[in-house]
Structure 1
């Protein structure tokens, strides 16, 4: 008995090491998207890059456009060459692009390297959750995949703290924003060396006909009996995918896969239409708009990062206790109400000394719902929807749409803020939030408490054509 307990601890320790290594991608994602929040005010100065609202939006959103393309390319590369090799390549791109942004001499060069950095961010955002989902035991899948979201907000929080420290202590240094950006290179080193020691996904190996290697990996992360059982389930599921050789867009012409793709795209879009990244990217500017000075806004913005970390920490615990769909509904309702309160308050308290503190309190409330309920479920559900041979491409397509919407919001938010003000901008997000709640209520399926193979069988039966619907679902699927 003690020997079995010891082996189980070894399996759990190995899984934990893999999870920490892979989620350095999430840390990079968070820092690279959050650092711009504090760097923009210094980068915009006339003696630096002299940004206008238009070029400010371009610098911010160029990363987001790159991320959209990176999520799609990353998914395809991961399906062809493997999850592990793809993430290692992304680590190298993270490192090179971070150095490029920190030494950029002008706006065009900055935009170019921010775009390259976005390719790495997008690739990791689609691949790391899928990689973790394929390695995790069913009962731990929610928490393991959500750990990536936790690392994202840790990265954003770290960016806000470092921004505040550097912004206050080195405010007179014209190049303080360069110091903020170069720190992005450090976690890339951790991701690279961590993934060198991680195994390839057993589900990808099995899908490529490398059954012996897949079983070997399974036995390193499961006890022998469970590894054999799960490996057989994977093999059975792959028999239903024999018509899929190299993953391509045409594979999604099957009714059930087309339906899953549309659901995944919808879930991804809903995540961004909450307006979360208007706060994560432009939180400092929002607080300045409401009445804080630059230094005070940088310091106050740390509260946004801190509540995001606390929220995802709560979400990590909650995802193992609550159904995915219910979490999403609660989260979206909370974010929509919070945005409504921000819009109303900015009108009621306009010109008042209380306004910046009211806005800060409400953005904290918004992020508590967003990071505690919505964000963890988004990445988890997208990673769970698709069969093994199409998981990389399917996840990549969904995350592509997430980043495209993110890009549009990142590009237009400064112009919206300057043209229709704080209240008008957030009233628009409220209207979209109401539609998002309706979408989730009607279309989003429940994915908790099932193995990935059971989910595949369930989706075939539920969303397939008439012949597929008549097939008998696996035991326990309802």
Structure 2
């Protein structure tokens, strides 16, 4: 099908109508689902501020600490891969409920791990590693399933802003972690078991996610894929006007019929050069997001600021600025997501983040250690980096991944793609503390700037556009390779 026919079909859908009860219902569903993003953010951000007290209390060296931090993204890589495929089999809603249970169990293992008081305990260390691994599985699963769930429920006109709310929830969770860490550190100090209280707070949103998702509907697109057309129609009627719901159901049924006879899952992926290509591009784009170094700032922001000249207490408080600007950037991104093309957003973001990474490396090199200006300049530049990252990249990448893959392998495709980013984050989490000690802030940020230049070339040459298209029309063009022809012509 040509791009002209596809776009006409999309535009021919009945209008959504004025905002009202149906749009509020969709908004409520997105808020409940985004507790998964909130947990994602809190569990990745809490270690930034908790890692030094945890290291001292458990008697860990830098390598052991790096493993505690790094096991979460490595677990997330596995969780993304497994949960993506699982959600294709058992549904998006059921998968999110299972993830809520994993979030809760992971927190319990970390918080109640034995040992401490500066003495290394093999059992306590193993318990923390196990808890972080389980939390990683849950975080990776949430990174895949929640955006897919939201993308499959949202109308294409506002799909970017609805799906982007999950990333806004992620940075809100990170900000919450930074604030909780700062409050606990201010009240109880930075020694002893305070890191356990920092981690324990994550149990609260896990409970809300579990009970909230029990009352949420299943993805209508997943229901149609499973032959439950009337169930899908009933779900859509709760978030769409009747004429629009019927038209979308017809489009969904047609898309599923087009897939009849297509080999599904991994087998179908391996037999299609176009599907292999889009999964490879998704894997690369996920890596691009992580190679900017954003996870290292969120994991080790306090360590970066201490390395630039701040005291431990100053660094924990200043670290809140990263969370604040991330939320501000997220709000801007959600509001603009359906107005600006994805490719333009990616290229703008990578240009800005690479520039601020390079400027930070230069500032850390030129300004001598002990200079009063050094920590302030580094803080301002890193804040600008985080703002650019969140405004132009983080939300846009997850939205693009949630909408680019065909229905029959959407969970699998996104799971494989997300694995690329999580693997990069795992490697960085293990080695960044040692790199900061050996080559300093300037060396680490210069390394990320080099990755940024390569990432700009990758996006410019390979990543296709997805904005303003229904998932069904994107599926046809991805499956036939037409989406690459459209990219070149544009």
TM-score, normalised to structure 2's length?
Answer: 0.92
SS of match in other structure, 2:238: helix
**Greater Cα offset, 212-221 or 144-153:** 212-221
User: How do residues 273-422 of structure 1 correspond to structure 2 at under 5 angstroms?
Assistant: 273-351=291-369, 352-422=371-441
Query: Residue 149 of structure 1 corresponds to which residue in structure 2?
Result: 167
1:239 Cα shift?
1.9
Question: Contact 1:259–1:463 (CA<8 Å) still a contact in 2?
Answer: no
Residues 350-390 of structure 1: CA distance to partner in whole angstroms, max 9, x if unpaired?
Answer: 21121111110011000111000000111000001111111
From 35, 44, 47, the equivalent of 1:33 is 44
1:258 Cα shift?
1.1
Distance 1:290 1:464 in 2: 46
1:7 Cα shift?
9.5
From 197, 218, 228, the equivalent of 2:236 is 218
Distance 1:381 1:257 in 2: 15
1:246 Cα shift?
5.2
SS of match in other structure, 2:20: helix
- Structure 2's unaligned 5+ residue stretches are 1-14, 115-123
1:271 Cα shift?
0.4
1:460 Cα shift?
3.0
1:463 Cα shift?
5.0
Residues 12-50 of structure 1: CA distance to partner in whole angstroms, max 9, x if unpaired?
Answer: 1211111001000000000000000010111111xx111
Question: Contact 1:35–1:180 (CA<8 Å) still a contact in 2?
Answer: yes
Question: Contact 2:106–2:130 (CA<8 Å) still a contact in 1?
Answer: no
Residues 422-458 of structure 1: CA distance to partner in whole angstroms, max 9, x if unpaired?
Answer: 1111111111110000010111111001100111122
Distance 1:8 1:305 in 2: 31
SS of match in other structure, 1:427: helix
Residues 175-194 of structure 1: CA distance to partner in whole angstroms, max 9, x if unpaired?
Answer: 11100000010100111111
Query: Residue 10 of structure 1 corresponds to which residue in structure 2?
Result: 21
Distance 2:450 2:404 in 1: 28
Residues 392-450 of structure 1: CA distance to partner in whole angstroms, max 9, x if unpaired?
Answer: 11011101111111111111111111121211111111111100000101111110011
Q: For the aligned residues, what is the CA RMSD?
A: 1.9
Query: Residue 449 of structure 1 corresponds to which residue in structure 2?
Result: 468
Distance 1:407 1:395 in 2: 18
1:9 Cα shift?
1.6
Question: Contact 1:7–1:223 (CA<8 Å) still a contact in 2?
Answer: no
Residues 305-350 of structure 1: CA distance to partner in whole angstroms, max 9, x if unpaired?
Answer: 1010101111111112211110110000000000001111111012
* Residue 458 (str. 1) matches residue 469 (str. 2): no
Question: Contact 2:262–2:268 (CA<8 Å) still a contact in 1?
Answer: no
Query: Residue 80 of structure 2 corresponds to which residue in structure 1?
Result: 71
* Residue 58 (str. 1) matches residue 77 (str. 2): no
SS of match in other structure, 2:474: helix
Question: Contact 1:336–1:430 (CA<8 Å) still a contact in 2?
Answer: yes
User: How do residues 77-116 of structure 1 correspond to structure 2 at under 5 angstroms?
Assistant: 77-105=86-114, 106-116=124-134
Distance 1:343 1:72 in 2: 35
1:464 Cα shift?
8.9
Question: Contact 1:255–1:463 (CA<8 Å) still a contact in 2?
Answer: no
Question: Contact 1:42–1:177 (CA<8 Å) still a contact in 2?
Answer: yes
Distance 1:377 1:172 in 2: 36
Query: Residue 125 of structure 1 corresponds to which residue in structure 2?
Result: 143
The count of corresponding residues between Structure 1 and Structure 2 is: 464
SS of match in other structure, 2:338: coil
Distance 1:426 1:109 in 2: 33
Distance 1:302 1:190 in 2: 25
Question: Contact 1:346–1:422 (CA<8 Å) still a contact in 2?
Answer: yes
1:60 Cα shift?
0.3
SS of match in other structure, 1:222: coil
Distance 1:157 1:172 in 2: 19
Residues 224-269 of structure 1: CA distance to partner in whole angstroms, max 9, x if unpaired?
Answer: 1011111111111112222346522553431211111111111111
**Greater Cα offset, 278-287 or 215-224:** 215-224
1:104 Cα shift?
1.4
Residues 249-308 of structure 1: CA distance to partner in whole angstroms, max 9, x if unpaired?
Answer: 553431211111111111111100101011000000000101111111000000111010
Query: Residue 3 of structure 2 corresponds to which residue in structure 1?
Result: none
Query: Residues 464 and 39 of structure 1: is their aligned pair in 2 closer, same or farther, counting only changes over 3 Å?
Result: closer
TM-score, normalised to structure 1's length?
Answer: 0.94
**Greater Cα offset, 331-340 or 96-105:** 96-105
Distance 1:339 1:253 in 2: 41
SS of match in other structure, 1:221: coil
